[in-house]
Chains A and B, each alone.
Chain A
Amino acid sequence: MIVTIGNGASGCYLEGMMKLRSKKRTLTLSTLSIAAATILLLAGCSSSSNSSAGTTSTPGAAAGGVPNVPLAKALGQGEGALNLIAWAGYAENGSNDKTVDWVTPFEKTTGCKVNVKIGNTSDEMVTLMKTGQYDGVSASGDATLRLIYGGDVAPVNTSLVPNYATVSDFLKNQKWNSVAGQMYGIPHAWGANVLTSNASKVTPAPTSWSAVFDPKSPYKGKVTAYDSPIYIADAALYLMSTKPDLGIKNPYALDDKQFTAAVDLLKAQKLIVGEYWADYTKAVQSFESGNTLLGTSWQVIVNMVNSDKKVKVNATVPVEGATGWSDTWMISSKAAHPNCMYKWMDHIISPKANAQVSEYFGEAPAQTLACAQTVDKNFCATYHATDAAYASKIYYWTTPTTTCLDGRGRICKDYAAWTQAWTAIKG
């Protein structure tokens, strides 16, 4: 049975409005009938809510809290269409760059027409997945568990994904993509958030995050930061090395004192920030126009800025280390095209496609055989693709929860607190 959790208010309103529309003609104009209609609408909502009340749960409550969504047993024919939510650069069909295309070959072999909706932040992806209108998502670690425990994604039968066998072992059955030994997705690739700087105007190129946190920065007003609550972790990561007495062990597990320190650091940083970015095209444009000279970004943004050769930017993983992502393709529990989604998951981690996407985005491919298919033969070495020790040093985006991720108990700030703090930081 599919438990309908978190089909959200939108579906509920819609349902209510449909009821109203059909009633429209028969109702006479009187306040009474409007009141009645409103009550009907609300009643329609609350009746469906009861079923979800008992099944939602926090992650601390063990695997029992995971909604029971059935596992696919066999695959059928493709349904002819596929609706994806993806990070920018994850599902390229040649429209941005003719040579960058791994969607068209997929469409040709499977007959699944791919529609891509770009998600700008993990939060946006979770919200979009809750609509149930998409078949799958390339979720980062700060979204995966929320989707799993929200019942928005289905477990994945990895035996139906042949290319899964050769995926790097250190990406399988991890705490962000599986629950109790059951995979909830297929690992895609992983990488770090990079410190980016304008090569001609910022010299020497900074090698420490202090460049973006120093209140006396010479680049005041030209610094950028990522516009999402998860960016608080970047401040926490910086504090790990600059204020060791705070005792931060994991930038996603912050108690009151550590959290306040990170928030204060970001409030001070706001004085030198010129612009926050969430839309990656805005970041590209800001670096190109010179409005932004310095700040955190992704390798794909760096590649896009450098591709037209007008402005050159440097990108580096600073000495303090970096936050990063480990992305997983997940299938919606309400997928309208599950067969196409399974075919896509197999395609995107096939050696050729996985090499293309990770080389384009600038991240380490999950598929070990992809290393033989990259254009740059040193690519996997540069990105430490098969280096488990290196991979363990990046602090992957994870959803902060009240139960501390580093095992200190229930004293940490949860994501709701992070979100409200982020509004306060921006002021």
Chain B
Amino acid sequence: MLWLVVAYLGSLIVMFVAAFWSTNDFTGALVRKFTTNNFHTLITESVYRTIAVRSIVVASIVTIVDAVVAIPIAFFMAKILSPRWRRIMVALVLLPLWASYLVKAYAWRTIFSEGGVLAWVASPFNIHTPGYGLGATTAVLAYLWLPYMILPVFAGLERLPDSLLDASSDLGANAWRTFRTIVLPITYPAFIAGSIFTFSLSMGDYIIVKIVGGKSQLFANVVYDNIGTAGNLPFAAAAAMVPVVTIIAYLLMVRRSGALDNL
């Protein structure tokens, strides 16, 4: 427990302190003098706001897409399959996580490429595929984080007694109404739990957008570029505070839903 606190909070504190340092313009050597310039730049330069908003929008869309896709799969697993097949299905959902993240990302790069699988499928219908860009980034992120949404939703649905569904249909409610007034309110915390994964993982990702994002960039790229390219660790630390603050704000929001009690 102590180790966890030191490793997690300690590194966050060090990062926070480093955010107030700067680097020598020329040699890139660290200058350990207090300055708020990094935060000043982050707030006043409109480009960082644009990128931050773009990242939040992408992470939100990824979360919504995952939630929508997860519902039928999780429902099928929890309510229709026999316990034996249910276990097999859980293993199948987890299976993609065993493959390397990069392999999957580069596989998607060839899928979205000129003359790739997607363009080939779309061409008979005369649909022009957009290729690399934010759309491709969103799709790949949604694919990658899908298991993290399915599992909590599946667990939530499993706990939902079948009798409630039977009662609802006995009283004349159709499937949609049952879903809206019974299933969704009860499993809502499960969706929230899943969304924490999908949202925060999307906020922190910089590789997918580099591989399939074309010329686009997300906020994690700002952090990455300032470490890898500019060697400006203090500014990177300051920039890293933006996703941290965003996710903390999101967590505070969802805490009120009670979803965190179920984790």
Residues of A within 8 A of B (CB): 5-6, 8-9, 13, 16, 20, 24, 27, 29, 33-34, 37-38, 41-42, 45-46, 49, 52-53, 56, 58-59, 121, 123-124, 126-127, 130, 145-146, 149-151, 221, 228-229, 270, 273-276, 279, 282, 285, 289-291, 399, 401-402, 414-416, 419-420, 422-424, 426-427
Contacts and interface: CB of A to CB of B under 8 A. Distances in A.
B28 A58 contact: no
B229 A419 contact: yes
Contacts of A130: 28, 231
Interface string B12-32: 011001100001111111111
A2 B164 CA distance: 75
Contacts of A6: 27-30
Interface string B92-135: 00000000000000000110011110000000000000011000
Nearest to B116: A289
Nearest to A223: B215
Interface of B: 1-3, 5-6, 9-11, 13-14, 17-18, 23-32, 41, 45, 47-48, 50-51, 109-110, 113-116, 131-132, 210-211, 214-215, 217, 222, 225-233
Given A34-B6, A126-B231, A415-B25, A275 B132 contact: yes
B25 A423 contact: no
B232 A427 contact: no
Contacts of B11: 13
B30 A9 contact: yes
A362 B47 CA distance: 38
Contacts of B17: 42
B110 to A, nearest CB: 8
11 contacts: A20-B6, A42-B14, A52-B30, A146-B26, A149-B27, A150-B28, A275-B214, A289-B110, A401-B25, A415-B230, A416-B230
Given A276-B215, A420-B41, A427-B50, A38 B230 contact: no
Nearest to B226: A419
B14 A423 contact: no
Given A289-B114, A399-B26, A419-B229, A275 B222 contact: no
Given A274-B132, A289-B115, A423 B225 contact: yes
A123 B214 contact: no
Nearest to B3: A24
Contacts of A228: 229
B15 to A, nearest CB: 9
Contacts of A38: 10, 13-14
Contact of B233 (A8, A151, A276, A427): A8
Given A24-B2, A42-B17, A415-B25, A424 B45 contact: yes
Give the top 7 A-B pairs by smallest Cβ distance, nearest first. Answer: A150-B27, A6-B29, A419-B230, A123-B229, A290-B114, A424-B47, A49-B32
Contact of B217 (A56, A59, A414, A426): A426
Given A291-B113, A420-B45, A149 B30 contact: no
Contacts of A290: 114-115
Interface of A is mostly: helix
A289 B113 CA distance: 7
Which of A49, A52, A423 is packed against the most chain B CB atoms within 10 Å?
A: A423
B155 to A, nearest CB: 31
Contacts of A276: 215
B10 A37 contact: yes
Given A273-B215, A291-B132, A416-B25, A27 B227 contact: no
B18 A9 contact: yes
Contacts of A59: 26
Contact of A123 (B13, B41, B116, B228): B228
Which of B29, B48, B210 is packed against the most chain A CB atoms within 10 Å?
A: B29
A229 B10 contact: no
Contact of A56 (B27, B132, B225): B27
B26 A427 contact: no
B30 A49 contact: yes
A52 B32 CA distance: 10
A416 B232 contact: yes
Given A37-B6, A124-B228, 18 more contacts: A5-B27, A6-B28, A16-B14, A20-B10, A34-B6, A34-B10, A38-B10, A42-B14, A56-B27, A123-B230, A273-B215, A274-B131, A285-B109, A290-B114, A291-B114, A416-B230, A423-B217, A426-B217
Contacts of B24: 56
B32 A45 contact: yes
Contacts of B232: 416, 419
Which of A16, A419, A422 is packed against the most chain B CB atoms within 10 Å?
A: A419
A117 to B, nearest CB: 13
Nearest to B228: A124
B223 to A, nearest CB: 11
